[in-house]
Structure 1
Amino acid sequence: MTTKQPDWERIEQLFRAGLLSVREIASACGVSHTAINKRSKAEGWDRDLNAKIKAKADSLVSKREVSTKVSTETLATERGIVEANAEVIADIRMAHRTDIGRSRRLTNLLLDELESLTEEQGTIKELIAQLKDGGGDDADAMSDMLALANKMGALPSRTKTMKELAETLKTLVALERQAYDLDTKTGGNDADELSKLMDDLSKEA
């Protein structure tokens, strides 16, 4: 009966990937860790530890993020770690949605104001005509004109400020999502919603 030869191609792939220890590879592939070490040295295999380092870093970030919110006893279990991190991510996503909701309400207020000023174009024309005619109510007409002019003059400035705030919020949301690795875990729904809001602002301004 012939002895099954080790799958050295697979062993080399696992070795180079760097996710498993040499002993774990040996156990999975039915060969001694000493044989793997000798082969790797003889053929010059290099271990890529980037994936293992990232996985360890992600684990450390997760534990440190929730360490101030839950007890050590809770973190001792895998379920506790998952639930605590889920709470952190949920809080962040809800904060994003709250900010987006506030931005949308402000945008709608500005649109309402723009609509109101548009509807008052007829009033402006009447006041101009009244001033040209030199009626007895020139002072009142001038006062009304100045009030409308102030409203119209302030709107572009506030609209510009709103757009700048929305851009800042969009950048901050994107950075926070990147820091918490949310786009790979939960998708970009909140970021997509904010992008849509920014598009609406650009069209309406």
Structure 2
Amino acid sequence: MGRRSDIDWESIERDYRIGQLSLRQIAAKHEVAVSSIVKKQKAEGWSRDLSEQVRVQTKAELIRLAAEKARENATKSVQSDAESVQAAAHTNVEIISAHRRDIQTEADRTRKIAEKIDNLMGSAVLPKDVALLASTHESLVRSRARLIGLEREAYGIGEAEPPPDDDNQIDLGRAAELRAKIRGS
């Protein structure tokens, strides 16, 4: 295979000196063998002397963008109170709507888990399986209690009430049945 005359060595040297691309990346970009670039680099004494200038320029550009954003924010801060209230209300609506969607997703998930527990209760024979179902059901009841409080808060129905910590304050329904089944009653 003969020498290629269409190789743009100036572009290759520029990419090499800037230092952002590896030799393999430069070779792929310009469709040249890595060994050819290494030979040329050694023959002509190329160095990656522009990489520090690139870093300095990058930092300067980041500082310029930050200053520009600060000026932009300062301009925005002179908005009227009505615009500020409107913007805050809009943000709150987005957040509350997202919370409502999340709560609904978790409520749906809880219902699916409850259905699975119902299906498994009929087939649980071993005490350890029944105990596991009872424990799972207890966790499910606690999750539902938390979700109800969160949902009430998200919909403005009332303040969220912390879920009770005491088992006696939560209607554990089926959990009591499962405990009885474990004891063999």
TM-score (norm 1): 0.31
Point out the structure with the larger helix share: 1
TM-score (norm 2): 0.34
